[in-house]
Amino acid sequence: MAKAFTVKFIETIKPTDKRQEIPDGGLPGLYLIVQPSGKMSWAVRYRFGGKMLKYTIGSYPAFGLADARKEAGKILRAASEGRDPQAEKKQAKTAQATGDDLFENVIAEFIKRHVKKKNRDSTAKDQQRFIDNELLPRWKGRRIGAITKRDVNAMLNEVVDRGAPQSANRVLALVRKFFNWCVGTEWLDASPCTGIPTPAPITKRKRVLSPDEIRLVWKGAEAIGWPFGPLTQLLLLTGQRREEVAGASWREFDLDAKQPAWTIPEQRAKNGNSNIVALAPAALAVLASLPRIGGKGDLVLTTNGETSISGYSRGKRRLDEAMLAAARKEAEERGDDPGKVAIPEWTLHDLRRTLATRGGDLGVLPHTIEAILNHARVGVSAHYNHARYEAEKRAALIRWAAYVERLVAGKAGLKCRPVQNSAAMNGCESTP
């Protein structure tokens, strides 16, 4: 019976005048080949297609005992699963010769076969943005098998260090999904993401903008203008998701109706349910101010007529700067020190939470807010309650837009009774 190899045993093997094939008793099928010259290499013998075949792993000590056994195990497993290790080796060499295994080529296949086919448009756009901004700049030109756990951790640390810990969590989720796909499609034998912890605690945001901040958001949006300014204003007035607003087409709007509305189709809604969004006069005014840019589509927010706007990070920075400038100017006019003025960090998604929270303060009932936000219903309500609350949604959004306009104008706040139906849209009175 063959003896299980140890490193010490291998070091005692001496060459002879004949080629030797010494079997490893620790892994049947693995052999150490010893040439008369003293050179040693590893090989695996396995049965495939009714024949006994040999696969050369590599030389010793370039492949140590542990590495050789690991590689041999992969080869034997492939053969037992009906896959030809020799054919796979040939395919790998071809991929290296043609560059098919370069990261940019493999990720392009992942985008085509997974990202675009198995996600909603909004999710696919988010993932594409991370690929374009985080992955390709770092790994373009690298062979897929050369990307290590250290590389992944280095990228995540960079994202966290620049102040975007939640983005780092999302990048890890995407990268883990990508490398698992690579394993499933046989580009890799193992994922470099295995064992990598979440880079930052997962936190639920609770940021709700104050009335003063809502006013500054509007003024900042006016200051920066097209196209990010109108996007921000529509987000604030409608409470819809960023990608739903940014990807809107003119054909989704019925602007000439007695009750103007915007219908988000189910294929663009995050939860797959279409949503009718009432358009208050302020929202209609924003839409009327937008340029109509021709192209293949009829996108509302586009700079080239072909694709919806992008560059959210840059646009948000400009908006923050405009808000801070407005706030400091107001402080100076009051006689306060403008250098002490600061605006706490906020995100565009916080506008949606602000509408929900401040809308509740205005008297909008919870089920109406949920309907405006187009949240998926759960529990008994999901099965039995199919009401759309369109009249209540319209009344609430008109009330909300009027409140925003009053804030921008610097007038008193509102004291409101609950919105029950469209007749209650004027159920507000100014506070003393």
Report the C-alpha gap between 99 and 122 in whole angstroms. Answer: 31
Beta bridge partners of 277: 262
| Residue 387 confidence class, pLDDT cut points 50, 70, 90 | confident
Architecture, CATH, for domain 103-184: Orthogonal Bundle (1.10)
User: pLDDT confidence of 378, banded at 50, 70, 90?
Assistant: low
Domain extents in the chain: 7-96, 103-184, 211-430
Mean pLDDT of the chain: 87
pLDDT tier for residue 204 given thresholds of 50, 70 and 90: confident
pLDDT band at 91 (very low <50, low <70, confident <90, very high): low
- Is the pLDDT score of 48 beyond 90? no
Q: Among 53-67, 111-125, 347-361, 393-407, which stretch is predicted with the lowest mean pLDDT?
A: 111-125
Segments of 197-306 assigned E as strands? 253-254, 261-264, 275-278
Digit-coded pLDDT (tens) for 252-281: 999 999 999 999 998 888 888 899 999 999
If we measure between CA atoms, which residue out of 362, 367, 377, 366 comes closest to residue 425?
362
The verdict on whether omega for the bond into residue 61 sits within 30 degrees of 0, i.e. cis, is: yes
| pLDDT at residue 232, rounded to an integer | 97
CATH T-level assignment (fold) for domain 211-430: hpI Integrase; Chain A (1.10.443)
What's the predicted TM-score (pTM) here?
0.60
Q: What was the pLDDT predicted at 98?
A: 66
Q: Considering only CA atoms, which of 235, 372, 209 is closest in space to residue 309?
A: 235
Q: Is the pLDDT of residue 122 over 80?
A: no
pLDDT above 80 for 421: no
Confidence (pLDDT) at 384:
53
pLDDT bracket for residue 194 (50, 70, 90): very high
> Among 192-196, 229-233, 295-299, 370-374, whose mean pLDDT is lowest?
295-299
Q: What is the pLDDT of residue 74?
A: 86
SS3 405: helix
Q: What string of DSSP letters covers 328-347?
A: HHHHHHHT--GGG-------
| pLDDT range class, residue 412, cuts 50, 70, 90 | very low
Mean pLDDT, range 173-199, rounded to an integer: 92
Give yes or no for a contact between 103 and 45, defined as CB atoms under 8 angstroms apart: no
**Given 3.40.50.300, 3.20.20.100, 3.40.50.720, 3.30.160.390, which CATH number is that of 7-96?**
3.30.160.390
Q: Answer yes or no: are the C-beta atoms of 308 and 247 closer than 8 Å.
A: yes
| pLDDT, position 385 | 56
Residue 418 has pLDDT above 50, yes or no: no
Q: What is the pLDDT of residue 96?
A: 62
Whether 20 has a pLDDT exceeding 60, the answer reads yes
Give per-residue pLDDT as tens, 340-368.
999 999 999 999 999 999 999 999 999 99
Q: How many angstroms separate the CA atoms of 420 and 393, rounded? A: 10
Please state, for a pLDDT cut of 90, what percent of the chain lies above it: 66
Identify the H or E element spanning 90. Answer: helix 85-98
Q: Is the dihedral of CA 179, 181, 182, 186 positive or negative?
A: positive
Tokens of 377: 């219903």
Q: How far apart are the first and last CA of the chain?
A: 98
